[in-house]
Chains A and B, each alone.
Chain A
């Protein structure tokens, strides 16, 4: 138990934990949105994320013409590159998420298949996508070019603030705010909340359930795509199995915060990011999942609906 290190490095560790948590939170939104509407754990969501990382990679090399060996860029080109890669990753993941729903879930849903059948279908899609990318990438990880020099730009209360992580935290915050506004303010957002409250009644009220489901998957996919870009920006690599580990963490975050609850996913994501960083300093990295899951179990024992309760509709503005 290395408390000394935890206390001496607490501010920096907290900053790093928040940056990691921001990525978890963005991915976990996809799990929670889909669960809220369909009561389905979308196991293929981790692969939606994985495909986003490859889309960001292709955008940087094929659209922006940046090679791995290139020196870091700056100024207007840097901003443009970041925006292009982010948008491409988000759109790709969004479209993939919608396609997954169309191909693997919609038909089952329309035919009234059991939740179990849909779950198996989700696992099947996940394995198919992972193996397809494994074959396409020769099982090798791929590197991502360095867009800008990573440096410590500030020291706040002893926390060393690194530029790329600060950007991720800021941008993720903006995304989450926009999504929150979308769900609570727009017509289709209200539709999503209505379906999550009571599917049959909302259909009777004239809500187009298929449209709601498509938009839900799209939103989840967009957020996963953003997370994918931020992930490669910070960690600068990806592989066909990148979604597996992050997917499990993000799913845990969703459950921790209260699956089905958007703000719960955010809280869960940040909480898990911090827990993993603090836990691995205290007991060693090998223990971080033990710590995270022990706390998850404890939270669920005391509050089975997770930290913030289970439904989207409870996330009021």
Chain B
């Protein structure tokens, strides 16, 4: 930002004067907004071993890094040259290996490298593009010279965060962003779509491209979901894909759909448990053979991680002359690979100026700063390196140029690393005009790594001319409109939606019952006999424990404290409310990319704002009531969003099937546990059941205040206009299964259709008076009916799982042998 003489560098002038106009107070206010935006959009970075676990919020600094047009003009071709060079190197290593034979590249860096995938040797990717995407971690030395700290060739991450940073910052500082002539990022992503489509071995006009993620527990899962949505690719996990006839298919509700290109964010060795890492459960068995047969393309090519080693820096200048007949334009931070004798000696002699890194990623070895070691530690490290020198690299600890960052409202200098992104495009390479600038979280921390908790900045590459406002977010006029209904929904996603529906409904039912219990607690005048409470408590237990709860009778005289304890114990038991709410979060996270931002926010709010108490002595009844009310409202907003904002796709159907199934089950459970045994004083029980079922208002409107079993049962079982009734759920389920993709094996009616039709007919034919009849204190017919419906719900659940969700099964390794001991 500042020139050596302390003056402001010219390309910062516009920005700084605009920022001054804004004023500190306004900036702070807007920054609060930005944090809120980031939080609500759920921008996260998962850190392994972080006590906060999943979803560490993304740390974005409010000041962008500005790069002048002149600087960029010099940097761009240098980056392009480097990507070109690395691609050429990969082509040789996975092909003729001339460089190894000539001794131009050391064999150790290939043969001792787990990133060198022998099964992939000889496979040529389309257009010889081993690298479709590449990223370089750059830093500026104090003299202004850019240099490379690290190359990312496996599956470069962070481009999506760069995009999100840009979106946030351009909203927070719109007037500054507008006047600074900042290059837009959207063109880069548009080119990415074009290039990847052009790499598809078949069907280039309209290829099916999937983004393969390791899953929601990966540290950059947010980004995978974000990019997939932005680029309009289907986000898949290994289990969503299958190989048949040496082709890759996506398992969808509508059957198998051919996949043309896989953009992978999964490390290559995990991609195929048959030919690569056998213990991987994240990959697709048979994938390597499908790639070898030329039936699917993978970007970056499987095996591209082999050049992702800091040792490469030592050889690039020479390789550049050999392979490209050019001088290397972009230097690396001075690097010494200890596999060479002279480098080893130099590194050990200058240990206090060096950072020692593993040559290949090693879990048990973090980078070590020589200067920070004691004499004894230094001896130990030297011995370790000398024993197996080819496994270590020494990098000179360089002083990095600093950039301004906001810390507690103050501008502070921070060292920074820019992660830049490149793309193979149209026979050449193109650089994203921007990138992800990383800053260490405190000024004395020198390690840059998202995994280790660095913050980030937006990166503005300035133009000397006005820039276009192109954006992919509001694009229309795409060349080919995708003509896909819901049938390409991956079965796994449908499965998760189904369970999301079930869990949300189960939670709602539990909360309503608890609320009924707690509300009664505060209303009752004394601890005298209460006929309602035992029924509600039994219903609550039934929800969690099923059948077994029916024979259970609560103590006749429970104190307020006892009841509270019972409720808390239930909620904390396995399968109780606390578990159910956790499941809602877990399942929702797995389908994050399928939920609207609003829906996600509602579910996140449920997790963050509603802290479920640990035990009964940490909460009072009225506090608990308040918590329960908030949960009911959150769940209701989820339901509202689902019914008002989701298109009636298969996605929505599976969510709703889950809800309806669960609600039908909960209704039969409530009837069995509260109304089959006739209570001594029944009207209050009827009232409570209606209240828990959210049907009390309707009842009162129809029948005024006379509470009798037959009209109550009619409303809860047979009334198809009551969204809480059993009949309503069954009719809805019947409608859903009619619209599920058809299996060709059943040209007329599918088994699940037959079942739901029969269920609907049966419920319409029920004689409500017979159900309501009190036969020596028990309603036998009501119980029979409820049991039958419960059974049919289990059967329906199985049919849907088998018919639509069954390819969710994991695959397994066959026992191997051949060790000479059979």
Q: Do A and B bind each other?
A: no
A contact set with B: CB distance below 8 Å: none
